A = this chain, B = another copy of it.
Amino acid sequence: MQLGLVGLGKMGFNMRERLRAGGHEVVGYDPRPEVSDVASLTDLAAALETPRVVWVMVPSGTVTHETIVTLADVLSPGDLVIDGGNSRYTEDGPHAKLLGDKGINFVDAGVSGGVWGLHEGYGLMVGGSDADVARAMPIFDTLRPAGDAADGFVHAGPVGAGHYAKMVHNGIEYGLMHAYAEGYELLAAEELIADPQAVIQAWTNGTVVRSWLQQLLAKALKEDPGFAAISGYTEDSGEGRWTVEEAISHRVPMPVIAASLFARFASRQEDSPTMKAVSALRNQFGGHAVHRISESG
């Protein structure tokens, strides 16, 4: 089928390729002319037959919001907009309303798989009405991995459910990565272990902890033994924070995912105000030595 695709970055670019390889006609728009098929969202709308389906794959937050505001202007009643970015689910209702006021339908889609999705397919979690989801199903069927549809695609619920499921997926991802990483650090600290990379490589088959992330960890260690080339400074992209906020809102105990989130925060601090306070307290009551800034600088 025909699809408009807004955003041709790391994710959108590959998705266009996979969809075209799957026989779809994709008209892509991106502000960078060297990758874009059309010059503007207005041109995108003009290039598509109505009723149109337009997939938005741009950074979450302001960029997504502004894109949807513009689409509400250039699209027509009966069209369908799919937000495939990492938007917070709380933005889906307002976006659906904004578009709905113009008679335009809305589906939110959580997309997993990263740069590997081009060849392996993307795990998809979508939210919206049955009719809207059905209409975009040929696209979903091409994007998702081969195999049983239920193993790489879910219509998770009404508008918002797709991004909610994706948010939880990413929260889990934080916890998984941290669990592997803690284990790696312990292996690397223990002199009995001749080569942590070899142990982690050996876990890729037959063990209880085998997983795609675990394979990537083995691959990363092979490429950069001892992680000598990179620092521990680690960004977070929002979903981890939102997941813990949702946990608090639902009174769900979430110590593991929260711990992995807090460790990312800490990784980005040059020095920890909390630990300065603890160190100052130890000095106050015990006369314990503290590290002066001049010593550690």
CB distance from A278 to the nearest CB of B (A): 5
A175 touches B186 (CB 8 A): no
Q: 1/0 per position for A194-236, CB-CB distance to B under 8 A? A: 1100110111111111111110110111001001111111110
B253 touches A180 (CB 8 A): no
**Do A273 and B232 form a contact, CB below 8 Å, given A164-B193, A209-B213, A256-B179?**
yes
B213 touches A285 (CB 8 A): yes
Stretch at the interface among A31-39, A63-71, A95-103, A262-270: A262-270
**Do A206 and B123 form a contact, CB below 8 Å, given A244-B248, A276-B231, A285-B213?**
yes
User: Would you list which residues of chain A between 79 and 124 have a CB under 8 Å from chain B?
Assistant: 89, 112-117, 120-124
Contacts of A165 in B (CB 8 A): 187, 193, 199, 202
User: Would you list which residues of chain A between 155 and 176 have a CB under 8 Å from chain B?
Assistant: 155-158, 160-161, 164-165, 168-176
A277 lies within 8 A of chain B by Cβ: yes
A153 is contacted by which of B202, B221, B235, B275 (Cβ under 8 Å)? Answer: B202
A73 lies within 8 A of chain B by Cβ: no
Summarize A's interface: helix, strand, loop or mixed.
helix
A296 is contacted by which of B115, B233, B266 (Cβ under 8 Å)? Answer: B233
B233 touches A291 (CB 8 A): yes
A217 is contacted by which of B170, B219, B280 (Cβ under 8 Å)? Answer: B280
Chain copies in the assembled complex: 4
Inter-chain CA distance A123–B157, complex, in Å, is 39
B282 touches A234 (CB 8 A): yes
Residue of B nearest to A284 (CB): B216
A172 touches B168 (CB 8 A): no
A285 is contacted by which of B208, B252, B258, B267 (Cβ under 8 Å)? Answer: B208
A179 is contacted by which of B151, B253, B257, B289 (Cβ under 8 Å)? Answer: B257
CB distance from A174 to the nearest CB of B (A): 8
A281 is contacted by which of B144, B180, B283 (Cβ under 8 Å)? Answer: B180
Contacts of A273 in B (CB 8 A): 181, 184-185, 188-189, 227, 232
A47 lies within 8 A of chain B by Cβ: no
A290 lies within 8 A of chain B by Cβ: yes
* 8 pairs from A and B in contact (CB 8 Å cutoff): A123-B208, A125-B199, A152-B202, A171-B186, A172-B180, A181-B273, A211-B214, A231-B296
